[in-house]
Each structure stands twice: as structure tokens, then as C-alpha cells.
Amino acid sequence: MTVTTPLVNGTSYCTVTAYSADSYKQAIDFYSKFLSLEDLTSNAQEQSTTISNGSISIKIQLKENPQQQSQVANQLEQLKAMEKTQDWRSHVQESLVFSTANILINKETLTALQYPTQSYPSELFPMELYTLDPLGNVIGVTSTKNAISTKPTEPPAQKKAKFASGLPSKVHSFTDLSYRMKTTDNYPSLPKTTNEKNKKAIAVMTSGGDAQGMNSNVRAIVRSAIFKGCRAFVVMEGYEGLVRGGPEYIKECSWEDVRGWSAEGGTNIGTARCLEFRERAGRLLGAQHLIEAGVDALIVCGGDGSLTGADLFRSEWPSLIEELLANKRISQDQFDKYKHLNICGTVGSIDNDMSTTDATIGAYSALDRICTAIDYVEATANSHSRAFVVEVMGRNCGWLALLAGIATSADYIFIPEKPATSSEWQDQMCDIVSKHRARGKRTTIVIVAEGAISVDLTPISPADVHKVLVDRLGLDTRITTLGHVQRGGTAVAYDRMLATLQGVEAVNAVLESTPETPSPLIAINENKIVRKPLVESVRLTKEVAAAIQAKDFKKAMSLRDTEFIEHLKNFMAINSADHNEPKLAADKRLKIAIVNVGAPAGGINSAVYSMATYCMSQGHKPYAIYNGWSGLARHESVRSLDWKSMIGWQSRGGSELGTNRNTPEEADIGMIAYYFQKYQFDGLVIVGGFEAFESLNQLEKARESYPAFRIPMVLIPATLSNNVPGTEYSLGSDTALNALMEYCDVVKQSAASTRGRTFVVDVQGGNSGYLATCAALAVGAQASYVPEEGIPLPQLQQDIETLAESFESAKGRGRNGKLILKSTNASKALGATDLANVITAEANGRFDAKPAFPGHVQQGGLPSPIDRTRATRFAIKAVDFIEEQQQTMASVRAADDEFNADDKDVSATATVLGVKRSHIVFSSIRQLYDYETEISLRMPKVIHWQGTRAIADHLVGRKRVD
């Protein structure tokens, strides 16, 4: 890449080189669209093209060279792979940067072109935007006056026309759905449509067993359909509603009809089994009733049986309407208009038994009910030293039993995917329970999935387990069958968000479907909302049940996702602790320490418990550093962990080890090194937030001076703020989100009881708006203010007007309490009380606002099942990492005089364990700290949850002021 003028203040002319004809054409297309340049001259003889907009010019030249092209392709692949993890600028010698009048338009263009991007200082408010051109170059635009300024340049009026919006994006991900919705000045912010007759009509129905989150799904579908300029319908009572038909069962919905549904359990539009729909005559009636109602597309939220029926309905549709026309039950005009039916599925199932998706709507809510019940049961079991056999749902899937077993430290579980002979399971269960009891445990919890079987397919009932515990071990045993309690209550935050995002994408799917498009299923994979073939997903799901019936349990297990298998291995490992012979030979056993740093967060104790019990099963010796770095430096607070002292920690809130915010340098890093050397630690696990991140960085930098730190070190992020670089998920954020959501539900109920009342809820999270953003989506808050955006006065004024219009539109109807969520650091000038007073004053009597402070409720309480099970997974991954890196660090310690802190293999042993797109990854602390962190803000540079804000705003009709 040849540049003829300095880059910082913008480049007037430059030349880039393509090494193949294809990349040459792609480069011309890229620069023309990204920078809105025009093809001025093409020189066939020189094989070059110059494009310009008057102020900048780019010459693209072709020099065909297959070897160079191969190198460019390899570089592109490497840079693309580190899009979310590393700063491209640190891996190239130079980058080309232009000034832009409107950086957001450039970003929209890149999204439309599906090019990778990196934004700084954040994705919400980018001042610098970088991408990769087809020639392997890092290309950027900036809205600042120069590359190091922090003051945005005002867009000149004459240049606004230079940039035009790009094509609609085809990317479907967890956070990029917002671009599909455009707003106007009115509440709710809906696109204006002119032709009412040609509006597409989309109906939604819930079918099969109910699941928490179905109402959130219906709400999102109805409002998204209205946003897209469509008519929205609901089908009451599932397929029975289709068969019965008429306005009583197929109802058109308005914006206000689904207000407040996210906070309600079950399904408000009903569900029912329908034998008639299984027959062709019933499906014929269903087709007639949909046509009479004017419905073009149908979205079904249900399990595999419901979705199978939906796809059969679509496949028969042409023959059904031909028969209706032949029998004169519909007119020729109706036949022509409704010749095709588009169908889409979202999965509502508490069993989490659908293949091709990581989670189904309602599964984590049911798991929450199970864990809460077992926590209650264990308290009474401890009082009487009893055993409890708990039956949970799961006919062909043991997911609920398995995850509940991990989250509650159950003694034994029965799942259909891994059966044993009658004598084997009895011996195994009695052996484990006896060992637990012999070591001082007063309670015994055995979890039985309703589909539990032995290898000969004989059902294993709670009564069978009860008999064995009584007859062979003499335990006072009780049976608890949770039944439909597991389906009850409102959805947890995860299910509300999942159902909402899937509902938005379901509407997009049916609008984009063609007669040839296979019926899509909306799934979540790799932290993205994606579309999968509905028929294939159902087929794979049914294969599991068929494999179990055929006694092919190995195949049944293989059809489960890898995380299911990993969870099963983890349960067996931590359940054995020190009760069996260690797996590793004596010379492979290590001394591994664990410390908590920063504020308490849900799941910290679960991580400590899982790390220690897994260490014991492997043969390692686990040590706890109590009260953080200051406890170690001042009091030598190191204790080895034993199994009995940790009983109950898996489900306990707070931090049993104690924690504070001091870093090693603040506590006395020399004394810390002394104690590390004294105890001869072979590895370290740090659990905490940004202070823990700082701590790991300090320890890694001190390796040159203190050989005691030349050991593998892993940080498990744990903070409600979810602001640790290198991960999209931190332990404690789900627990905090649920606590905040429950608080907001109660406050919103209070607001609804007083006409014209809004509550401004003060939300924790430091400089991160993650908690406020996700809670806003989960509870349907009218607005959320976060530190990344601040509180712009024009936006505040618009929000007040939107609130007034919303109250006026509701006309006193119920469920109309309003919430505004404000991150504490969103504004230094306006606290929650001040903001409430401003809103009340500016509302001029149309409504009023009150402040609400959940405070440290957001940090307390029992950890959620998600935080418990992920803490176990993270802790075991951390120990495995320490085991794997021993050889690297052993050679480093052996060559003490030749220690090289800059060696990549060495620096990679001080790492942050993170979740990125649902994959667990290990990222070097040096890379993260130096290139991917805004140190002063205690934030990562790239904000992964950006798109969630726009969706939350659109679904409540909020008007955005640019």
C-alpha cells in the first residue's frame, strides 16, 4: 500500500494494489460503496482505476501475482479471525484513515456489505471505524478532526449527500437485528404505510405444552409485525383455534394489546391439544379460517410435535386451497391471493430437547424453579438428616436433571441418555451416597428425570429409588414430585430476552421467505439468533427418542450438543471429589490456589467449589487465599480446601473466601510473591471483575522480578457489570439481571396502580450499561440511559414527549406502569431523584415520575442456575488450562536466567477465560490490557451488546434522536 500524504489528517491521494482480477473488481466495488467514490478513469493499458469524490482519490492497480495473492488471502483470514479479540492495528505496519462526515452511515454500509468492523472507543458511539478491504489492508474512517482528537467533527451540510445508506444486511445475529426497524416521530414509532389493502398479515400461535417466555415471544412478534407495516393476529388456543376459526379465535392485535406481557407466565393466547388438526379435514378447516381472516404467514411457538404439524400444514397448503376452491369454500380471488403460506417456528419447550439450538424458550426458567425447590428441600433435609428423591420433567431429555444436579450439588442423577443396569445404578448410587454420608454430609438429594430408564428400557421411578435408599442404606427418605410447578411463574431474564429476539427474527423470516424457502426454525447458536431448517431440526430431535428406544444410547448421547456431554463429565468429576482414587499420577499432581478479587457476584462460590472438588478428583491440592490480596499480604491467609467444609457452597451467594478491591501492588506485591514461593503454587485461579483483571496484569508484568509468578494464571470474570475485556459473559451478571428484573416487575406493578406514574430505577454497573440495557429489554422499560451514551437533553425531551403520548394512547388501561432505567454513571449531574424531578416538571401535569433504588439487591441473593452451572464449567476449564501449561512454565522456571517476558508462549499462560459467541476462549492478559481495554473507563473497547439497545427501544416505541 503506497500513501503519498500523511494519514492522520486525512489522505488526499493513495494507491492500493490488487494481485488478482477478482480482488481488483472487489476493491473497486468496496471503495466505491464504503467511501461513496465515483469511477473517474479506467486505464486498460496500465490495468488501473482511479475513483474520487473531489477531496480524496484512490488509485487501484492490478499486478497479477498468485503468490502475493495467496499471502493476502492468508492475512485476511488471520485478521478476520481476530475481529472480536485483537486490535487489527497492532498486527499491521500501517492503516489508511479518512475523515468522514457521518461515521454511522459508513458503519451501515459495512453492515450491508457484510464486512468485519472494529469500532473505537465503543460500538455505540464510534469515533474511529476500521474494516478490511479485499486487498488485505486495514482501512478506517474517523469522525474526529484528527486521528487522536476526541471531539467529533460537525458534519458539513454539503457533504451529507456524499454518503448514502447501503443495502439491507443479510447477517442474522444476536445483536444485529435493530437495523430492520425504522422509526418516525410518532408514538409508537412506526413506519407509515399508505396501502392498507396490501398490508401483509402475520399470525402467531402457541401450541403444545406451555413454557415461560411464550408471552414475550408473542409480544415481540406482534409489535415487530406492526413495525414492519404488517397486520398482526393471534390464534387463540393453538391449533384448536385454527380449526374453530372466526374472530373469537383468530384475532387482530394492536400495539397496546400486548403491553406488559413479558412479565406474565404461561401463554395469554392459550394452547390446547387438537386431535382434529391431525386429520386432513381439520387442516382444511384451518386453511379456510386463515384465508377468511386474511392471514398470509403463521409463526408457531411450540415443541417438536407442534412444529411438525406446522410444516405438514405448509406442505399440504397448495392441495388444501385447491380443494377449498373446488368446493367453493373460497373465491378465486382468495385462491390467487393466498396461494402460498409462509410458516416459521420458534421453540417453546422447558425440556430444552430441540436439536440445532442451544436453548429453547422456557428451559432456563424451568431450571430456576427446580433449583429453587431443591434449595428449599435441602434446608428441611438438613434439619432431619433426610434423603429426598426429586422428580423433574424430561421425557426423552435429561437436560433439566443434569443441570439441576450440577447447580445444587445433587448426590446422584438419573437421565434417559445414560442408563445403567438395575444392579449397576443401585450399587453406584449407594456407593456415592455412602461416601458422602461418611464424610459428614447430612443431606442426600437424588434427581430423577421422568424419562429415566435402565438399559433394558425399564422405567426408573422415584419410588424405585426411594426403596433402594431405605432398604440398603436405611435413610429416612421422602419423594418430591415438582410436576407443573416447573412450568409456572414468570420467565427468567434469559428466557425473556431469548424469546424477544427470536420473535423479532421470526417476523423477518416470514417476510423474507419465498414459496421455495424451507420452513425456518429460529434458533440460537454461538450467541447468534439464526435460522435453521425446521424439518431437519425436528428430525434430529426425534432421532434421539428413536435411538433410546433402540437401546443405542451412544448415538442418543452423540445427538446431544457437546456442551451437554461436557456438563455430564463435569458432574461426575466434581461429584467424586476426594472419594475415589485420583485420576492423575503422583508426579502430575499440582498445588493450585484460588482467590476472589473485587465486589461479590453470583456464582463466585460455585466456581470455588467446582475448582476445589475437580482438583481433588484429579489429585491436585486446592488452596484458598482468603480476603483477597490484602488478606494474603497481611495475614498469610492461605488454607487448603477440604470437601466437608465446602458442602452447600455451590448454591450459596456472596463470597465464602471473602473479597476486596485491592490489587497486588496496593496490597504489597513483594509479600504476595514471598507467599507464592513459600507454598510453591503451581497455578492460580482469580475470580473477580475489573480489579481482578488489573491484578492479573500486574502479576504477569511482575514475572520478570518475581519468579514465583511464573506459573499458569487464569482469570474467571465475575462481575454484575459484565465489563471485563475478553468475554461477553461474566459470572454474576445473570444473577444481578434477574434480581433487577424482579425488582422492576414489582415497581412497575406499583406504577400501574397509580394512573400516569413512571419510576426512574437507578441501576448499578459502573461505566457499563450492560445491566440497564438487558433489563430494559426484559421488563419493557420505556427508556434506558447508559454511560456509553449519557443523557443527551434532546433525547430526554423526546422521551418525556413519548411517555406522555404513551399514557394518552393507553387511555387508562391496565398494565400501563412505565419504567425508565438509568445507570448510576450515565450522568454525573442527574441522579435518579434529579432525573425524576426533571421529568415531572417537564411533563406539565400529564404524568409524574418517582425514583427507585434497588441498590445492593443487585449483588445479593442466591446465584442463578446459569451462573452456577457456568461457574462449574469455567472452573474446570481453568484447571485443565493450568494442567496443560505446566510443561511450558516448567521449562521457563528451569531456565531462570534466560526468562523472556515477551515470549508469546509465556505471556499466553496469564490469561482471561471468556465466552465469545458461546465458545470458551483463553485470551492473553497482555493482548487484552494493551490493545483491547479502555483503562480509564474500566471497559473493553468493543461493546458486544450494542444492538440489544436498539431492539429494546423499538419494541416500546421509543423515538431515537440522532
CATH number, residue 105: 3.10.180.10
Grid coordinates in use for 13? 491521494
229 annotated as belonging to a binding site for a ligand: no
Asked whether residue 185 is assigned to any structural domain, the reply reads no
478: annotated binding-site residue?
yes
Residues 6+ apart with CB under 8 A from 243: 274, 276, 277, 282, 285, 286, 289
Residue 218 lies in a domain: yes
Q: What are phi and psi of 757, to 5 degrees?
A: -120, 130
pLDDT of residue 552: 92
For residue 149, say whether it is annotated as part of any ligand binding site. Answer: no
Same domain, 739 and 712: no
- The reply, when asked if residue 525 is annotated as ligand binding, is no
Does residue 90 fall inside a structural domain? yes
- Residue 723 annotated as lining a ligand binding site: yes
d(CA 958, CA 782) in angstroms, rounded, equals: 7
* Domain annotation covers residue 318: yes
User: Is 395 annotated as contributing to ligand binding?
Assistant: yes
Tell me what pLDDT residue 825 has. Answer: 95
User: What is the structure's pLDDT at 174?
Assistant: 32
Please state, as a whole number, how many other Cβ atoms lie within 10 Å of the Cβ of residue 147: 17
Give CA–CA dist 817/885, Å, rounded: 55
Q: Is residue 561 assigned to a domain?
A: no
Q: Are residues 743 and 822 in the same domain?
A: yes
- 285 with 346, same domain: the answer is yes
CA distances from 360 to 55, 302, 363, 510, 523 (A): 53, 10, 6, 20, 8
Q: How far apart are CA 810 and CA 817, in angstroms?
A: 10
Domain containing 385 — which CATH number? Answer: 3.40.50.460
Residue 181 lies in a domain: no
CB atoms near residue 535 (< 10 Å): 17
- Do 879 and 775 share a structural domain? no
Annotated binding residue at 350?
yes
Q: For 612-623, what is each residue's pLDDT tens digit?
A: 999 999 999 999
Based on the domain organization, do 396 and 511 belong to the same domain?
Answer: no
The response to whether 303 counts as a known ligand-binding position is yes
In terms of domains, do 92 and 128 share one? yes
Q: Is residue 433 part of a domain?
A: yes
Inside any domain, residue 941: no
Indicate which CATH number applies to the domain containing 512: 3.40.50.450
Instruction: Look at the pTM and tell me if it is higher than 0.85.
Output: no
Q: Render 717-780 in DSSP notation, one character per residue.
A: EB-TT---TT-S--BTHHHHHHHHHHHHHHHHHHHHHSTTEEEEEEE--TT--HHHHHHHHHHT
CA 796-801-806 angle, to 5 degrees, is: 120
Q: Among 442, 469, 487, give the residue marking a domain's end.
A: 487
386 labeled binding residue: yes
Phi, psi angles (nearest 5°) of residue 161: -75, -10
Residue spans of the chain under pLDDT 70: 1-12, 39-40, 54, 121-122, 124-125, 144-187, 189-198, 526, 811-815, 918
**Closest-CA residue to 504 (of 242, 712, 222, 753):** 222
Same domain, 301 and 376: no
Would the CA dihedral through 166, 172, 173, 177 be positive or negative? positive
3-state SS, 658-691, equals CCCCCCHHHHCHHHHHHHHHHHCCCEEEEEECHH
Query: What are the contacts of 775-778 at 24+ separation with CB within 8 A?
Result: 775/493, 775/737, 775/740, 775/741, 775/744, 775/821, 776/819, 776/821, 776/949, 776/952, 777/496, 777/497, 777/500, 777/948, 777/951, 777/952, 777/955, 778/262, 778/493, 778/496, 778/497, 778/500, 778/737, 778/741
The b-or-e profile of 805-821 (16+ CB within 10 A means b, else e) is: bbbebbeeeebbbbbbb
Same domain, yes or no: 782 and 720:
no
927 a known binding residue? no
Annotated binding-site residue? 488: no
Tell me how far apart the alpha carbons of residues 867 and 687 are, in angstroms, rounded to a whole number. 13
Same domain, 119 and 225: no
69-90 pLDDT, tens digit each: 988 898 888 888 888 778 787 7
| Same structural domain, 607 and 520 | no
Residue 261, domain extent: 201-359+491-543
Q: Is 450 annotated as a binding residue?
A: yes
Residues 879 and 804 in one domain: no
Point out the domain boundary residue: 487, 506, 534.
487
Question: What sign does the CA torsion over 500, 502, 504, 510 have?
Answer: negative
Collapsing DSSP to helix, strand or coil, 204 comes out as: strand
Total of domains in the chain: 5
pLDDT value of position 149 = 30
Q: Are 607 and 731 in contact (CB under 8 A)?
A: yes
440 is in an annotated binding site: no
| Residues facing 532 on adjacent strands | 521
**Is 349 flagged in the annotation as binding?**
yes
Q: Are residues 852 and 889 in the same domain?
A: no
HSE, side-chain direction, 13 A CA sphere, residue 830: 22
**Domain end call among 113, 144, 162:** 162
Positions annotated as catalytic residues are 351
Q: To the nearest 10°, report the CA torsion of 222, 225, 230, 233.
A: -30
683 is in an annotated binding site: no
